[in-house]
Structure 1
Amino acid sequence: MTRKLTPGKLVIATHNKGKLKEMQALLAPYGMECLSAGELGLPEPAETGTTFAENALIKAHAAAKAANLPALSDDSGLSVAALGGAPGVYTADWAEAAPFEGGPGRDWYMAMGKVEGKLAQLGPDTPRDAWFTSMLALAWPDGEAQTFEGRIDGTLTWPPRGTLGFGYDPVFVPAGETQTFAEIDPAQKNAMSHRAVAFAKLVAVQFAG
């Protein structure tokens, strides 16, 4: 029998405020009181996996054990077809910048520019197909875990447009749309994003029926 969450406290294993806000909005209808790993002062574990699933499980297990509560993590990233699926699982690494206030810094404009620069090197006719992947991992303190994967396809644009998203959102136009994820209303994005697809699978298992 599939293990179910009960209404109450759930740790969102992230220090990313944008990601936390999206996940809180998606979980709000199900009676979950979401606390972030950042709010609880939990350390960020080293993401040593080579797949989204491995890294999501690393984060969920670490948070669940440290907080002694169920924990939900998301490992997500942008993959570009012409770059062989890069940056993929190393999406955040491409944004690594100089440290600030004693912690790691991430420059997403630099990261978007890095992707654009690599596409430009391949020539003006290079296809700009890309996709976002979200892998959710739900873990309990005793080590049990479940994973749920979501994906949304689209194309890349340049220069970046919009201020509503985070990460690579300003250069990603989802299939069938004309606006970037950073131009689309957050409620609309939450209803269609790669994270929403993964959440729909989680909800079907955890909260349906």
Structure 2
Amino acid sequence: MRIVLATHNPHKVAEFQQIVAATRPDLEVVGYDGPEPVEDGVTFAANALIKARAAAAHTGLPALADDSGICVDVLGGSPGVFSAYWAGQRKDAAANLELLLDQLRDIADPHRSAQFHSTIALVGSDGSERTVEGVWPGRLAHEASGSGGFGYDPIFIPDGQAPGVERTVGEFTDAEKQSQSHRARAFRALIPLLAEL
């Protein structure tokens, strides 16, 4: 079965293809080359649905869309839905990361808790709509480390690692990230819904 992933971000396409290959090898995720809708929702779910609806309407295929970001507790959950635009409208990942680090410069470790959030929307060919969520808790490092992943990965230290050997997601292998990430967690919640297509 083919399903379109409503994103123009090649990193997300590759990440979803790896997650899907490990859990639903019968499902072919194809990229989306249609118009990009205005994401004017104020929640991850609203923005994911906007994108999935546009992709389903454009392609005639069932569509998945992810809206995700990092939520920092001391910042009241920001950047949140504004994660991709935190440093301005250019979607500059390096500038976003640097701005966030600068904003937290004087914040001590006990107060650097954060979570990656992902909401995946599924819009069926029949117009049915569902959303699922995945949350990956952790905290933010004081400086970037590692060259893997993208976005805020080099400063995010996931919970559950052994003390003294904690790494940022930027230091994870692709396989490690795909098995633990917020998107992987959301996708696992989505699997029963895909069976209904």
2:8 alignment partner, one of 15, 39, 42: 15
**Which residue is equivalent to 1:27?**
20
* More strand as a share of residues: 1
SS of the residue corresponding to residue 30 of structure 1 reads coil
- Matched to 1:200, the amino acid is R
Q: What residue is the counterpart of 1:127 in the other structure?
A: 111
User: Secondary structure of the residue that 2:160 maps to in structure 1?
Assistant: coil
Give yes or no for contact 2:84–2:92 (8 Å, CA) kept in 1.
no
Give the match for residue 112 of structure 1. Answer: 97
| Corresponding position: 1:45 with 2:45 | no
Q: Deviations over 1:76-111 (max 9, x none)?
A: 0000000010000111111546xxxxxxx4321211
- 2:155 pairs with one of 137, 159, 171: 171
Query: Which deviations, in whole Å up to 9, do the C-alpha atoms of 1:29-74 show, x marking residues without a partner?
Result: 331221111xxx2111100100000000000000000001001000
**What amino acid is the match of 1:59?**
K
* Per-residue Cα deviation, 1:116-148 (whole angstroms, up to 9, x for no partner): 12122x555671000000000010233211111
Alignment correspondent of 2:177: 189
Q: Distance in 2 between matches of 1:123 and 1:188?
A: 28
What is the match of residue 71 of structure 1? 63
Q: Deviations over 1:7-49 (max 9, x none)?
A: x211000111111111111112331221111xxx211110010
Stretches of structure 1 that go unaligned for 5 or more consecutive residues are 1-7, 98-104
Q: Distance in 2 between matches of 1:60 and 1:94?
A: 23
Q: What letter corresponds to residue 92 of structure 2 in structure 1? A: D
Judge conservation of contact 1:82–1:126 (CA < 8 Å) in 2.
no
Native 8 Å contact 1:119 1:126 kept in 2: no
Query: What is the aligned-residue identity percentage?
Result: 43
Aligned residue type for 1:16: N
Asked if the contact 1:128–1:155 (Cα under 8 Å) also holds between the matched residues in 2, the reply is yes
RMSD of aligned C-alpha atoms? 1.7
Structure-1 residue corresponding to 2:194: 206
Task: Evaluate the alpha carbon distance shift between residue 123 and residue 24 of structure 1 in structure 2; reply closer, same or farther with a 3 A threshold.
Answer: closer
2:135 to 120, 144, 151: 151
1:180 is matched with which residue?
168
